[in-house]
Amino acid sequence: MVLESRFRGPNSLQPVIEGGLEQPEISYDLRDDYDLGAQFFLWEFAVATAGHILNINPFNEPNVQESKENTNNILAQYEKQGKLPEPQQVIQQGNITVYGPGNGAGSLTDYLHTFLSQVQPGDYIAIMAYVQQNEETEGDLEALRIRLRNLYRVATTVGYGPRFLHSTGQLHKGGANNGVFIQITGQDQHDMAIPGEPYTFGILKAAQALGDYYSLEHHQRRVISIHIAGNLGQGLHAIEQAV
């Protein structure tokens, strides 16, 4: 569901629902800034109500803190050993490496098909992208999301890490176990040192991704991590084709 706000006139606050292959879209025409404030209140109230129905406390984020603690432990290990821990590697194909539970597959295509065969009606697929956000990447991730949605006929989401950890990250680990998670990490083209710390921003981001991955594993979620070592766009296209 997408909320699209357009300031058009004083009498247009009527929802328009569109169907088709896309998820239903509700479009609200807002009259002025006060209507925008009303929408903030409406959806904050809706989140609290949905949290109650899903048996989630929307005013507490224990699993967000859990991922933070995992990240701190990973960074402490990096300071001692000079490298980050690595989950179980299951597939290495070109510039793409897949980490996750073994399923006997020998190729990226076979592995992804076997992993995604776990998707059931009522599940959702979440793409968690720890990559640079730009127009090209946005289009590639959207194409992958739509391919997954059309193939498996379930809700799909895309979130950029680490920022999603403070929103849907709590749902991923603390909500119902009906998510299938694909973490995507990429090779940073540019990196910078963090003043006063023995690691860079790139290492920090990688540690946050690992911390979230281990948290999802701990909660027995269906999760894999895919690292693209070379050109990000080419890697995302390869993943889409494999799917």
Domain holding 193: CATH number?
A: 3.40.50.10490
State how many domains the chain has.
2
My answer on whether 48 and 66 are in the same domain is no
My answer on whether 184 and 161 are in the same domain is yes
Which letter does DSSP use for residue 221 in this model? -
My answer on whether 48 and 112 are in the same domain is no
In whole angstroms, how far apart are CA 116 and each of 1, 15, 112, 240? Answer: 23, 35, 6, 13
My answer on whether 102 and 18 are in the same domain is no
Say if CB 127 and CB 146 are below 8 A apart. no
My answer on whether 86 and 111 are in the same domain is yes
Q: Is 237 exposed, middle or buried (0-12, 13-18, 19+ CB in 10 A)?
A: middle
My answer on whether 104 and 205 are in the same domain is yes
Report pLDDT for 47: 87
126 membership: H or E segment, kind and range: strand 124-130
My answer on whether 85 and 9 are in the same domain is no
pTM, rounded to two decimals:
0.79
My answer on whether 40 and 74 are in the same domain is no
In whole angstroms, how far apart are CA 130 and each of 2, 38, 159, 161, 219? Answer: 23, 33, 9, 5, 21
The per-residue pLDDT for range 118-170, each reduced to its tens digit, is: 999 999 999 999 998 899 999 999 999 999 999 999 999 999 999 998 888 88
Q: Give residue 20's domain range.
A: 3-53
Report pLDDT for 177: 94
Half-sphere exposure for 199 (CA within 13 Å, toward CB): 21
Can you list the residues of the chain whose pLDDT is less than 50? 1-20
